[in-house]
A and B are shown apart, each in its own frame.
Chain A
Amino acid sequence: MTSGDRPEVSIIIPVHNGADFIGDALAGLAEQLPDPGGLEVIVVDDHSTDASAEIAATAGVPGGSLRVIASAGYGVCAARNAGLSQATGRLIGFLDADDWFAPGRLEVLRAALDRVGADFVRTDVVLVAERQRSLLAAPESRRGVRLPGRAGILPSTSRTMVDHPAMFAGLFHRRLLDEGLLRFDEDLPSAEDRELMWRLHLADTAYVVADAPGAFYRRGLPRSLTQADDQRRLGYLTALDSVRRGVASDPDQERLLAKLVQSLLALTVQHLSQTRRRQVRHALITQAARVLAAVPRPVVSAAVYQVDAQRRAVLAPVLRRVGVRP
C-alpha cells in the first residue's frame, strides 16, 4: 500500500559489523504489510569492517525496496539521521541490525496509529536470550487510546513511557520529521532513544500504545552496553542533562525535573550495580553528581526520599557529592 507514489512505511536499520544478524532483521520485514511494495527499507552502514552491507544488499526484502547507504558520520545517531534524510515513507520506524519484528507487526502499528490519528505509536518489547524470552511491557495500561504526549512523562513516582525509550518499538508519522522533532542528537554516545523520547513527549504530540506482534530485542551481545562496560554507560547522563536544559523554561518545570531526577537516580543505581570497572564507576559518580548539582536541591532531596534504603546506599557516593544525605 502506498500513499500516492510514496511508500507507506520506511524502516531505517543502522548497522555496524552486524553480519551475524542482519539477515534475521531483513527476513522479519518480509511479511509486514498487505502490500509488500509499501515497505521501504534503508540499511545505513556505519563503517562496518565486515560484510554487513554486502549481505544486506544480497539478502534484500522480498517484495519491498531495500537500499544500502553509507553513513558519513560515526555512531548510531548519525546513521539513523542519514537514514531519515533518505526516508520517503509516510510512517517511519527503526530497527537495530541484531533485532527483528514478528510478521504483521507494522500493519498493526499502522492501523493503530491511523485509527486515532496519533503522531506515533509504541508497543511492548520482547527481550531474547537464546530461547528464553521475557516481556518488557510498555508502562501504559491504556491501549489503543489516543493520549497527549505529556501523559507519558508523569507521575515522577512511577515508570512511564519516557522510561521505555526503545525506538525500534514504535512507528512515527512523517510530520514529526518534517517538524524537526524526529532527529537524533549526534553528540550522544548512547541513550539517544531516551533523549528523543523525552523531546517527543515534551512537545505534546499525540501517541498511542498498541498491542502488536513482537519487537524482539537480542540481549547479551558482546557489543551491547552492559557487555562492553565502558564510557558509553555515561550516555544517559548526557542525555538527561540535555533534557534538563530543555525543561528549564517549561511552566511545569518542577514536576518534570522531579521525574527526570527519579529516572536519573534509577539509571545510576542500575549502572553502578553493573559496572566492574573503577574508571567507569568513578566517572558515573562524578558526572551524575554534576547533573544533579544543576537541579534545585529541594527537587533532588524529594526524589531521594522516594528511593528505598538499598538503592540509596548504592547512590551514597553521588549524593554525598551533591550534599544530600543518603
Chain B
Amino acid sequence: MTTLAAIRTGAGLRLLRAAVSRSGFQHPRTVLTWSDAMIPELAGRPQIVAGEFEEVVDLNGLLAPFHPAQWDPGDLELSLLAALLEPRMVGVDTLVVEDLDHKVARALTRLVPGAAIHVLQPGLDAYGPPAIRREAALDHRVAAHWYFEHLPQLQPASGGLARGLPLELPRGRPGEWTLVLGSDLAGAGAITATAELDLLVEAIRLAAAEAGPIRVLPSPSMPPALVAQARWRCREWEARLEWGEAAAARRWGTPSVAIGVDAVELLALQRAGARVHTVGLSRLLSALTPYQHPLRLPWILLDSQLREDRAPVSDEVAQDLLDTLSYVIRPEWRPERAERAVAALARLPEAERRRYFWRLRLERLGLVPPPARRHQLWHQVRTGGLVRPRRRAALE
C-alpha cells in the first residue's frame, strides 16, 4: 500500500510533512511537484530535502513546454501520463493533493480511481467551502482536509473532515528588522502585474519608515521581471534592503515588523510578537468580483484580524463571520447551513456586515429582507429597476 503526494507550494510541503508526522497517512514514496506560476520555468519550487522521498517527479517537466493551468487532459493524455508515471502508481491507495480544485489534482484523482484522497490546504481557504463545485463521487473519496491552524479559534466549514495542525511559529525574540512578504496576486488573476508591483513597492516604502534592515521575501511565483523592477524602484533604500528566498528566510528569525498584502504568514508573525501591517488589502477586497471569488474568504479572514483602523474581531464574531461567509459564497455546497448562516449573520455587528457583505447578495439568498417601503425608491434606483415617468411615456 502506497501513498502518492502532489505538491505545488512550500507551504503545501510543510503541511505534508506535518500531516505525516501526525500519522495522517503513510510517508509518500513518490512526490509529484509542479508550479502554477505564470512562468513556471523561472519560478521557485518547494524545497525538498535530498532523500526525503524515494522519488520526486517534476510534472512541469513532463508537461513541458505546456503550462499545467491549460492542461485539461482527456482519456488519451491521462493514459500517457499514467504510462510515464508507471510503476510509481502501483499499489497507490492514498492520494495526497494540494488544492483539489486544480485541474492537475483532478487529473491525478482519475489516475488512481480507487485511492482515498487527502487534501492539503495550507492557506486560509481551508476554513471555507471548496472554490468550485465537485462531483459527488469525488467528494465521497475525500478522507480528510488537512490545514494549518492559522486561526486556532475557528472551526472550519468542512466540519468532521477537517484536520487542523498547529502552526510552527517563528522562533526567537523579535529582532530589530522588518520583513516584507510578497504575493502573486497577478498570477492568480486578481490584479494586474503593474498593480502587483506597485503594492510591493508600497510595502517596502512602508518598511523604510521603520528602523533597521529590511528583508524582502518575494513570492516564488512572482515573475523575475517584477522582482527586478521592484529592486530598481526601491534602489534608494538599497543599502538597507536584502532580497531573499524561502530557504534563506527561515534562518532570519522573527522580525519586529512584518508587512504584506495577503500573506497568511502575517498571522503567525503577529502571534510571535511582530507588529504586522497589510498593504492595500481593504481596497483590493472592495474591488474583488464576483462575490464568490476564491480569494474573498481568505482576504476577509485576514482583514478581520489585521485591520489598521480598528481592533481585530473577537473569536465569536470571527466564527460567525466564517459561518455566514461559507454559506453566502457557496450556498449550494451545504444548503442545510442556511439556518446557521442566518443566525450568525444576525449576531454580526453592523460594522462587519457593512464591511464584508454585499447587501444585494444577502437579499438574493433570503438572508435579509428587502428594504422597507420608504427606502424602495432608492433601492430601485440602485438596482436599475426604476424607469423615469417621461421615458415610460415615450415607450408606451
Contacts and interface: CB of A to CB of B under 8 A. Distances in A.
Given A27-B42, A100-B39, A55 B228 contact: yes
Q: Chain A interface mostly helix, strand, loop or mixed?
A: mixed
A102 B224 contact: no
A216 to B, nearest CB: 7
Contacts of B65: 102, 126, 133, 135, 213-214, 216
A225 interface: no
Interface stretch (B66-74, B110-118, B301-309, B313-321): B66-74
A19 interface: yes
Contacts of A100: 39, 41-42
Contacts of A130: 38
Contact of B38 (A20, A126, A131): A131
Contacts of A26: 224, 228
B235 interface: yes
B41 A20 contact: no
A36 interface: no
A270 to B, nearest CB: 24
A27 B40 CA distance: 12
A100 B66 CA distance: 14
B225 A20 contact: yes
A30 to B, nearest CB: 9
A213 B63 CA distance: 12
Interface string A1-26: 00000000000000000011111111
A221 to B, nearest CB: 13
B246 interface: no
Given A24-B223, A27-B224, A102 B64 contact: yes
A103 B41 contact: yes
A214 B66 CA distance: 10
B226 interface: yes
A59 B233 CA distance: 12
Q: Is the interface of B mostly helix, strand, loop or mixed?
A: helix
Nearest to A19: B229
B225 A24 contact: yes
A26 B39 CA distance: 13
B229 A20 contact: yes
A213 B74 CA distance: 25
A232 B30 CA distance: 52
Interface residues of B, number: 21
A51 B64 CA distance: 32
Interface in A112-134: 126, 130-133
B229 A55 contact: yes
A26 B42 CA distance: 10
A85 to B, nearest CB: 26
Contacts of B226: 23
Given A20-B193, A23-B226, A24-B224, A133 B231 contact: no
B232 interface: yes
Interface in A94-117: 100, 102-103
B155 to A, nearest CB: 35
Contacts of B229: 19-20, 23, 51, 55
B154 interface: no
A58 interface: yes
Centre residue among B38, B42, B228 by max chain A CB count within 10 A:
B228
A58 B224 CA distance: 12
Contacts of A135: 65
Contacts of A19: 229, 232
A213 B38 CA distance: 17
B232 A24 contact: no
Interface in A42-77: 51, 54-55, 58-59
Contacts of B227: 23
Contact of A23 (B67, B69, B70, B228): B228
Contacts of A54: 232
A213 B42 contact: no
A28 interface: yes
Nearest to B187: A131
Nearest to A21: B225
Interface string A225-269: 000000000000000000000000000000000000000000000
Given A51-B229, A135-B65, A216-B65, 7 more contacts: A19-B232, A24-B223, A24-B224, A27-B225, A59-B228, A102-B41, A131-B69
24 contacts: A19-B229, A20-B225, A21-B225, A22-B228, A23-B224, A23-B228, A24-B39, A24-B223, A25-B225, A27-B224, A27-B225, A28-B42, A28-B224, A55-B228, A58-B228, A58-B231, A58-B235, A59-B231, A100-B41, A133-B66, A133-B67, A214-B65, A216-B39, A216-B41
Q: Which 9 A-B pairs have the closest CB atoms?
A: A23-B228, A27-B224, A23-B225, A214-B65, A24-B225, A59-B228, A131-B69, A126-B65, A102-B41
